[in-house]
Amino acid sequence: MKRLKQHVIWGQRGSFILAATGSAVGLGNIWKFPYITGENGGGAFVLMYLLCILLIGIPIMMAEILMGRRARANPIIATAELCEAAGASKLWTGIGWMGALAGLVILSFYTVIAGWTLEYIVAAVSGEFTGLTGEASKQLFDGLLADPGKMLQWHTLFTLMTVVILALGVTRGLESSVRVMMPLLFVLLLVLLGYAAVEGEFATSLRFMFSFNPQDISWESALVAMGHSFFTLSLGMGAIMAYGAYMPSNQSVSRTVLYVALLDTLVALVAGVAIFALVFATPGISPGSGPGLMFVTLPVAFGNMSAGLVFGAIFFVMVMLAAWTSTISLLEPGVAYLNERFGFNRVAASILLGVVAWAMGLGSVWSFNDWSAKQFLWGKSYFDTMDFIATNIMLPLGGVLIALFVGWKLRDHHILHELASESPRLVRWWRPVLKFISPVAVLVVLINGIFPVLRAVFVE
């Protein structure tokens, strides 16, 4: 595939780790992980999730970085060039195309949820949490969902924030922003952890997160854990591949991946411990309250604690930063493609794709109000349909294809060249895991993700 532009490489130490961690740490860690842990019984779920990170997440993330860095191009051109070099069928280029598309689909609904954090920053700062009861909190949240105009405004603003960073370019936009936002995010998280330790039921929370009850292990929660390990590490759609293209050649892939996976997991665990500590300290609310945990339960906790107003605002600013560094990685593969393949400047490419994602997101805004009765795929709302297609189909499928492509198709010398400075023992372990264990495990998730839906359509 022809390219008009060559790639930049990030100059400063640690930029890749910060950017990849920025992509990985997002709503998945702070919004989703705590509530699915709450719904799936705590410790046993955490253990299954950690196993998935180790057996699926880490090997596939290494493969993605390797592809991006080897080709030094956006995921679409990267897969095309690597196919050619490996003498593999052109069909494998689908990895890049599907990834860029998945990025647009995820971005379209991700900015809707991320937009809620903007609304909640305003609510916290203007004192709306003070003395909040469970009932009033639910009304506040339902009121937001019922107001398409307000949701549209936040969705638009978040998309715009994403476009601005991308338009500023790979160094001035992406690199500079993660170098500021990620350290800030870590500081805010530590502040919240301290607050939760002082104000919350820390011991109860730790017991809940880490006590292990074998009867909590079920096939279903294993699947949730597996699917989540994918989403949370931003795997299967090329975000990490796109960033890998900017990673200096002398940096160790395996060590970097370990850092990113560790930081991502740590943020999820710390956020979980802090959130549950606050939730357990507030009478009458429960840890298993689902997606509303962050937007309904937590404001009640903040509203009834000392200095809850300040810390509530800090909390939602932190979530906003986490989401922001993720949204930029969702659009980067497409923007880099338009830039490198057709010579679009980054401003035009970011605006164009931003508008596409924004328009696709309108349905997600309306699916909570005007379109709440409309059903799309198999009885699901528009929002759930987009989430299902991207998270349960496109990401795992992309992940399997990446594992199979790097495991079976890429020539040894391509891989060994990129991994020249890694420990040979690690490389010896990594390849078979990538060839066999990861794809089989992911296929299990994929089939189980689709199967219940197919059965509902054809059998019932």
CA–CA dist 43, 53 (Å, integer)? 15
Binding segment (CB under 6 A) for ligand PHE, from list 117-125, 162-170, 231-239, 351-359 = 231-239
Give just the sign of the alpha carbon dihedral 57, 59, 61, 67: negative
- Give the nearer residue to ligand PHE in terms of CB position, either 134 or 292: 292
Our CA dihedral for 129, 131, 136, 140, rounded to 10 degrees, sits at -10
Contact call for residue 239 and ligand PHE (CB under 6 A): yes
Q: Out of 20, 106, 123, 313, which residue is the one contacting ligand PHE (CB under 6 A)?
A: 106
Q: Which two tokens stand for residue 267?
A: 């943020």
Contact call for residue 24 and ligand PHE (CB under 6 A): yes
Q: Which two tokens stand for residue 416?
A: 């060994």
Contact call for residue 58 and ligand PHE (CB under 6 A): no
Place of tokens 């906003």: 320
Which residue type sits at 399? G
Contact call for residue 123 and ligand PHE (CB under 6 A): no
- Give the nearer residue to ligand PHE in terms of CB position, either 27 or 123: 27
Binding segment (CB under 6 A) for ligand PHE, from list 20-28, 122-130, 173-181, 188-196 = 20-28
- Give the nearer residue to ligand PHE in terms of CB position, either 107 or 309: 107
Contact call for residue 329 and ligand PHE (CB under 6 A): yes
Q: Out of 17, 18, 19, 26, which residue is the one contacting ligand PHE (CB under 6 A)?
A: 26
Contact call for residue 27 and ligand PHE (CB under 6 A): yes
CA–CA dist 200, 198 (Å, integer)? 6
Contact call for residue 37 and ligand PHE (CB under 6 A): no
Going by C-alpha positions, the residue among 188, 138, 182, 137 that lies closest to residue 310 is: 188
CA–CA dist 121, 315 (Å, integer)? 8
Chain-centre distance of CA 181, in angstroms? 16
Q: Total number of residues binding ligand PHE (CB under 6 A)?
A: 15
In the bound complex, what is the minimum distance in angstroms from residue 427's beta carbon to ligand PHE?
26
Contact call for residue 76 and ligand PHE (CB under 6 A): no
Contact call for residue 324 and ligand PHE (CB under 6 A): no
Q: Which two tokens stand for residue 272?
A: 């979980």
In the bound complex, what is the minimum distance in angstroms from residue 398's beta carbon to ligand PHE?
10
Our CA dihedral for 419, 425, 428, 430, rounded to 10 degrees, sits at -70
Binding segment (CB under 6 A) for ligand PHE, from list 8-16, 23-31, 147-155, 157-165 = 23-31
CA–CA dist 161, 350 (Å, integer)? 11
Contact call for residue 353 and ligand PHE (CB under 6 A): no
Q: Out of 66, 274, 330, 336, which residue is the one contacting ligand PHE (CB under 6 A)?
A: 330
Q: Which two tokens stand for residue 339?
A: 């830039």
Contact call for residue 442 and ligand PHE (CB under 6 A): no
Asked if 427 contacts 419 with a C-beta cutoff of 8 angstroms, the reply is yes
Asked if 319 contacts 27 with a C-beta cutoff of 8 angstroms, the reply is yes
Contact call for residue 36 and ligand PHE (CB under 6 A): no
Contact call for residue 74 and ligand PHE (CB under 6 A): no
Q: How many CB atoms lie within 10 A of CB 376?
A: 17
Q: Out of 232, 265, 297, 350, which residue is the one contacting ligand PHE (CB under 6 A)?
A: 232
Per-residue b or e along 198-207, where b marks 16 or more CB atoms closer than 10 Å to that residue's CB: ebbbbeebee
Longest dimension (CA), the chain: 65
In the bound complex, what is the minimum distance in angstroms from residue 326's beta carbon to ligand PHE?
4
Q: Which residue is nearest to ligand PHE (CB)?
A: 28
Binding segment (CB under 6 A) for ligand PHE, from list 18-26, 37-45, 123-131, 356-364 = 18-26
CA–CA dist 59, 253 (Å, integer)? 11
CA–CA dist 380, 384 (Å, integer)? 6
DSSP state of 377: G
Contact call for residue 15 and ligand PHE (CB under 6 A): no
Q: Which two tokens stand for residue 54?
A: 């180790």
In the bound complex, what is the minimum distance in angstroms from residue 30's beta carbon to ligand PHE?
8
Q: Out of 186, 231, 280, 388, which residue is the one contacting ligand PHE (CB under 6 A)?
A: 231
In the bound complex, what is the minimum distance in angstroms from residue 67's beta carbon to ligand PHE?
15
In the bound complex, what is the minimum distance in angstroms from residue 49's beta carbon to ligand PHE?
13
Alpha helices in 233-252 (DSSP H): 239-244
Residues that bind ligand PHE (CB under 6 A): 23-24, 26-29, 106, 231-232, 234, 237, 239, 326, 329-330
